[in-house]
Amino acid sequence: MTTPSSPDPSFSFLLPLFFPSDLLAAFSVTGHRIIRHPKTNDETVEITIEEKNAPPVIPEEHRGKAVTSKGFHRPMTLQHFPIQDRFCLLIVHRRRWEIDGAGTLERVLSFLPESGLKITTQFAAFLKEADRTRAGGGRTHRETLRGEEA
């Protein structure tokens, strides 16, 4: 197992190829590592992301009230698309936002799964479509990825 490292800024141009735009707008990559399984020698890419300290959109009824970050929720680990035939795990650190005198606030993100799932929404959609293809659908996996019509 390797130790976590800060990402090299020179690879930031590659991030849009791997992650949804709303993730990149709201989160920063704070570390990455490759973990090698001791028995199988399989590798897993683990990428740590942290929500930026910029408040989400404030509902109209609370405009003008102060919004502050109150630390982080427990980290969430999600499986994302494999990278170079390696499992890819996202370690997501979401902030706790509080509106003065009005409770909490949470950023709405399309890549986060429905409650209880451990894979990103896009990866779940891909697997669902791939399963349809294997069951006799008319599209290939590559067409599924590109969204091309059969």
Domain boundaries, the chain: 9-109, 120-150
The span from the CA of 75 to the CA of 132, in Å, is 32
Q: Classify strands 27-36 and 43-51 as parallel, antiparallel or unpaired.
A: antiparallel
**Taking CA 145 as the corner, what is the angle to CA 142 and CA 147, rounded to the nearest 5 degrees?**
105
Report whether pLDDT(149) > 60.
Answer: no
Report whether pLDDT(150) > 50.
Answer: no
Report whether pLDDT(3) > 90.
Answer: no
Average pLDDT of the chain to the nearest whole number:
76
Percent of the chain with pLDDT strictly greater than 90: 6
Report whether pLDDT(85) > 70.
Answer: yes
- Span 16-67, pLDDT tens digits: 877 777 788 888 889 889 989 899 888 888 989 899 998 888 888 888 888 8
Per-residue model confidence (pLDDT) at position 117: 54
Report whether pLDDT(71) > 50.
Answer: yes
Phi first, then psi, for residue 142 (nearest 5°) are -65, -40
Per-residue model confidence (pLDDT) at position 53: 92
Confirm whether pTM is higher than 0.85.
Answer: no
**What are the structure tokens assigned to 60, written together?**
């109209």
Q: Is the separation of the CB atoms in 54 and 94 below 8 Å? A: no
Count of residues for the chain? 150
The span from the CA of 46 to the CA of 82, in Å, is 11
Q: Classify strands 86-93 and 76-83 as parallel, antiparallel or unpaired.
A: antiparallel
